[in-house]
Amino acid sequence: MSRTPRDNAISTRTIGRRSLVLGGAQLAFMGLLGLRMRHLQVEQADQFRLLAEENRINIRLIPPERGLIFDRNGVPIATNEQNYRVTIVREDAGDVEEVIARLSRLIELEEGEIERTLREVERRSAFVPVTVTDRLTWEELSKVAVNAPTLPGITSEVGLSRRYPMAEDFAHIVGYVGPVSDYDLGRIEDPDPLLQIPEFQIGKIGVESKMEQDLRGSSGNRRIEVNSVGRVMRELDRQEGKPGSDLQLTIDHRLQNFVQARMTGESAAAVVMDTQTGDILAIGSAPSFDPNKFVRGISTADYAELTENKYRPLANKSVQGAYPPGSTFKMVTALAALEAGVLEHDETVFCPGYYDLGNRRFHCWKRGGHGRTDLNKSLMESCDVFYYDISQRVGIDKITEMARRLGLGQRFDLPMSAVAEGLTPSREWKRTRRGEEWLLGDTLNSSIGQGFVLASPLQLAVMTARLASGTAVSPRLIRSVNGVEQKVEPPEGLGIPSRHLNAIRRGMISVSNHRRGTAFGSRIEAEAMRMAGKTGTSQVRSITTEERAQGVFRNEDLPWERRDHALFVSYAPHDNPRIACSVVVEHGGGGSTAAAPIARDIVLQALYEGLPPLSAYPANQRRMIEERQKSLPLRDFEPPVPTGRSRA
């Protein structure tokens, strides 16, 4: 059926209207699109240009140079050394296993290193370098470099690593560094972005840990251009960071080495202090360990050897160890009694070998007793009954107050790990901590440094320095930071009358120089170097009534861990004190036989600033001393002073 002209006209008008509507819609859409494009390209151009730039340019942190650590004479004890290593890039290597096999024919690779490398290569992006091995010798690095054409993807690099040239001597003082762990990040409230860098190392124990903020420094940064998959194309800019501060300790490395060497074969600790400044000249714990093994990652076998050793080489006994001070505590009890006015300088107490308190008997170490005993004799021969008697008169509260005044029962602020507070017990302490009332027997035990009383070798050295100087001298380990001497405030007086201190000092002089003194066998013959001291023996087991009736077992007849601890404290010269020393030998037996000889040798080494002449020793001991000096494992080299800094 044909359409009429009218129908055609209507159809034409309809199509025209639709075309106009559709065309208008298209024009409107194009207009809107144009406006949006103008907004994006003109008005927001700067913002998108910045986003594009940030996508193309990365900012990466540059680890700062870790500060160095020196002894008091400027000898380095913690340095940064070059570390030669080999890396591999998977996309350049092709057949990774074949390339590593070729590499292993040039340098020795452990099976564990190969397995770890293959795992890392698969886990990381193809263009990311993976360390195959490190700490190569120059010869090994040269072999790799010469054969580079046959080792696709292999690159020789020079990195840096922490090194401890004195090894065992400073392990417990300086500590060591290691990779940042999840535990480390978890205990830091606002972690430094540096800590997120793979394999970045921080201090784990000792000075390295406690002075981490000073030693670490602050990071630098570099701007690098990367492509769409993140591969580095070029470095655009670099800003170096601020290096960490150099530290100088108060320790003398030669004396420290002697202290460690002299304690060889023992489970022991020793501390040497300057009586005037409080500078710690040596602070040793034996046996020790090599901190360099921890920097790289200690093996399971090496770590097991350390943890299974009954002498506990990982523990820093000089500050962490808390021991009953035994008779080295008697000066505290005597001073408390003198100051309280319950004891006169010339007063005597009769010692029959025991002291009865109610239905309990407290024994003196000398079964037959010491007879009539005054203050001087009580210290010289270490009579227990004298202190049982005067402690009942003065009471535990005044004894504890005097102990704290002399440096016991307090934690000193030193940059070392787990510094012990020790314990100077009181009535309130026992009531609060044990839920029990204080007993008179507790006072008797405390008066001779047994019972609840605990002290570290550091605290005993501080006590001795304060007795020698009459001032509240405090220990110091950091001498300077970046060459700036750390200010030392002159110590205040103890507030103890000189006549009381002099009475105690006379007793300590008798201990080492009177024929009946408990340390006469460890005396110093050189007149200008003679020392004052006090022996101590602290029990680690209870002696039963039956054992006393049958005869107390000798320490030599007991298992090592049941023997008494041996202690000795001293200062010298006795007429012009310069140094104070404390020695604790775990399960060493008697203080006079185990600890005093070690302390005497350390004191002489400190005073002479080297091995003392044999004339400083008693004539009948000189041959034995000469043989001992020859056998000591002393260092015979002077570590080189670094000429520049390195990045750790």
Cα(196)–Cα(200) distance, rounded to whole angstroms? 8
Give the CA distances from residue 603 to residues 109, 323, 596, in Å, rounded to whole numbers and listed in that order: 48, 22, 10
327: tokens are: 């008779």
Comparing CA positions, the residue from 521, 543, 234, 201 lying closest to residue 361 is 543
Rg, the chain, Cα only: 37
Classify residue 592 by its DSSP letter. I
Q: Which of 161, 285, 327, 474 is catalytic?
A: 327
Two tokens, residue 245: 């501060």
How close are the terminal C-alpha atoms of the chain, in Å?
Answer: 97
Report d(CA 574, CA 569) in Å as an integer. Answer: 13
CB atoms within 10 A of CB 648: 28
| Paired residues of 242 in beta bridges | 218
Q: Which of 548, 556, 543 is nearest to 589 (CA)?
A: 556
Question: Which residue has 């010692």 as its token pair?
Answer: 351
Check: CB of residue 258 under 8 Å from CB of residue 582. Answer: no
Token output for 19: 């075309």
Q: Residue 361 in contact with residue 411, Cβ under 8 Å?
A: no
Residue 584, helix vs strand vs coil? strand
The yes-or-no answer on residue 382 being catalytic is: no
Question: How many of the other CB atoms lie within 10 Å of CB of 103?
Answer: 22
CB 319 within 8 A of CB 456: yes
Angle at 449 between CA 445 and CA 455, to 5 degrees: 135
Which residue stretches of 177-307 are H helix?
A: 182-186, 206-210, 212-216, 253-262, 292-296, 300-307
* Residues labelled catalytic: 327
